[in-house]
Amino acid sequence: MSDSAAGPEAPKSLSYAPVPVEKAKASVIATMVLARLGLMIALFMPIVAGMTLKVQSLVPAKDVAPTLGAVISMGALAALLFDPIFGRLSDRTVGRFGRRRPWLIAGAVGLLACLAVIAMAPNALVLGIGWFFAQALGNAAVAAHTATLADQVPQWQRGKVSGMIGIASQAASLGAAYSASLFGQNMLLLFLVPGILALLLVLVFAFVLPDQPMGRRPVSEGGLKTALKTFWVNPRKNPDFAFAWVSRFLVVLAMFMFVTFRLLYLQQDLGLSKQDAAGALATGVLIYTLALVTAGQIAGWISDRLGRRKVFIWTSAIIFGIGTWMLTVADSTSGFYWAELVIGIGFGIYIAVDLALVIDVLPNPEDTAKDLGVFNIAMTGPQTLAPAVSAALVTMGGGRYDLLLAVAAGIALLGALTILPVKKVR
């Protein structure tokens, strides 16, 4: 069929990524945010508390920290590798079901199956393998989901929607903490309930999503060159993207240096029992989440009104660094709660504008999900490094967390400075 004959059908089946100009429908935004919440609860619950509880049931107390670090790192490595891969596959998926929808559903189903394996794992090896594939398949859904923001939301609306998605992602920590409090004695329920919730919310979003099918795949070089480019965006040609990438890498590294060992910090540094630590964790995450939601909503709204992103990024990283430092002087649960409040404010401001800034500096509209996958390495890469770095700093600190937290605060502040050279976004 000639191009002229195909002309009238072009709007229904595109070979390029259309730039959204109309306001996104409320139903799309609402289900988009809820789907993100579900996916991140399922992925965060093991990191926040589930893996700590599971590992403690499998290995002696002296082996918990190194085993936990190794298992979490395996999952983070899978996320690092497969998020860009699935993102690129999503960009090049053709068919009547659209580009994003098949990966959303398949990823959520695979994640649920892997969480079942984790819940029943008889040893640390099976646990690590299960978490590796859970992160790999979960990130198939996450990569497709992140790309829907660029597909469906116009630039002038992205600050607000980005903030809502970021808040949902972080609010997932609260759901994860309370899942541990409610189901901590039953491993099957602890891991499966979040996975089922994620699948249900993703299915609703997939049904509502106006995922426009592509008529043919974008032009590709093919072979090894294309495969390698899946993990690469030239920093010399795209310096704004590179600076934004490094900034996120540093801020997320600072965050995960503590998050991975949060429960152990309460047990070992503050001397709480396992039960008391779980309760304090849930309360702390509640305070953190309320602060994050409030700060994120306000920052996202102001960012869109002013048309500015950078000032919010570096301000948030400074506040986050101060909150992390506060944990070094905390000697009671009240000090822990105050630190969580400050960290929540800082990270709430950060996530409100971070994703909007990134989408504004994406290099290629035909590779949206792939490029976002590359950018997501700045989220998953630190998760791979953080457990090992944190364990080493705790050892250097004589079993206490002061050195770890002080270093994390410094890294967060460095991440704030790195966003300043970005020129394309104010």
374 vs 38, higher pLDDT: 38
Measured CA distances, 402 to 258, 266, 360 (Å): 11, 13, 38
CB 19 within 8 A of CB 365: yes
Least confident of 37-41, 140-144, 348-352: 348-352
CA distance 4 to 14: 14
SS3 248: helix
Give the C-alpha separation, 146 to 127, whole Å: 27
Write out the E strands in 1-149: none
Please list the residues that pair with 214 across neighbouring strands. 14
pLDDT at 125: 92
Q: Which residues pair with 14 in a beta bridge?
A: 214
**Which are the contacts of 193, defined by CB distance < 8 A and separation ≥ 6?**
179, 183
C-alpha count within 13 angstroms, C-beta hemisphere, residue 68: 29
- The confidence band for 130, taking pLDDT boundaries of 50, 70 and 90, is very high
CA 12 to chain centre: 32
Q: For 303-324, what is each residue's pLDDT tens digit? A: 777 777 778 877 887 888 788 8
What pLDDT does residue 215 have? 58
**The residue to which tokens 């974008």 are assigned:** 218
For residue 165, give the nearest of 255, 43, 300, 341 by alpha carbon. Answer: 300
What's residue 216's pLDDT? 60
**284 pLDDT higher than 80:** yes
Q: Let me know: does 317 contact 343? Beta carbons within 8 Å.
A: no
C-alpha separations of 10 from 22, 25, 132, 147, 214 in Å: 19, 22, 40, 21, 10
Tell me what percent of the residues of the chain surpass a pLDDT of 90: 18
pLDDT of residue 227: 46
Eight-state DSSP code of residue 214: B
**Alpha-carbon gap, residue 199 to 414, rounded angstroms:** 37
Mean of pLDDT values over 178-190: 81
Contacts of 203 (CB under 8 A, 6+ apart): 105, 108
- CATH 1.10.1740.10 matches 25-211+231-418: no
**3-state DSSP percent of the chain in helix, strand and coil, to 5:** 80, 0, 20
Q: Which of 169, 149, 163 shows the shortest CA–CA distance to 352?
A: 163
| Number of other residues whose CB lies within 10 A of the CB of residue 339 | 24
Calpha distance 75→46 (Å, rounded)? 10
| DSSP labels, 165-209 | HHHHHHHHHHHHHHHHHHHTT-HHHHHHHHHHHHHHHHHHHHHH-
Report domain extents, the chain: 25-211+231-418
Query: CA 369, CA 146: separation in Å to the nearest integer?
Result: 7
Predicted local confidence at residue 353, as pLDDT: 77
Please state the rounded mean pLDDT for residues 19-25: 74
**Counting beta carbons within 10 angstroms of the beta carbon of residue 144, is it exposed (0 to 12), middle (13 to 18) or buried (19 or more)?**
buried
